[in-house]
Amino acid sequence: MKSIVALQSVLTPWSDGLEPSDAELDAIEAEMPVVLAEVELLDALIVLLDRPASEFDGRRIRRAHHRVLTARRDAANRSTGTQFAGDAA
């Protein structure tokens, strides 16, 4: 019987160009607060898939949504270099 399994190197050749560059890693690191805040909001919403929302759940979702907005605002301010009064340089 003939084997149908292909060699891994034939399917996905590995080259030095597949590693993320330092600029790409910096961009990922800068975006992580937004990603983590969105994951927290998603977790809060997933909890409500199988039960009705309580007052506590509503507060948790509002806080998580606020964290997402804050993280997005901070990321936008970092990307444009804008600082508000009182922000540390």
Q: What is the pLDDT of residues 1-12, one digit of tens each?
A: 566 665 555 555
The whole-number average pLDDT for the span 46-72 is: 94
**Spatial distance between the Cα atoms of 16 and 10, rounded to a whole number of angstroms:** 16
The whole-number average pLDDT for the span 23-51 is: 93
The pTM assigned to this predicted structure is 0.66
**Spatial distance between the Cα atoms of 71 and 76, rounded to a whole number of angstroms:** 9
The confidence score (pLDDT) of residue 5 equals: 61
* pLDDT, tens only, 67-87: 999 999 999 998 887 556 555
pLDDT at 27 over 70: yes
**Spatial distance between the Cα atoms of 60 and 47, rounded to a whole number of angstroms:** 11
- What SS3 string covers 47-83? HCCCCCCCHHHHHHHHHHHHHHHHHHHHHHHHHHCCC
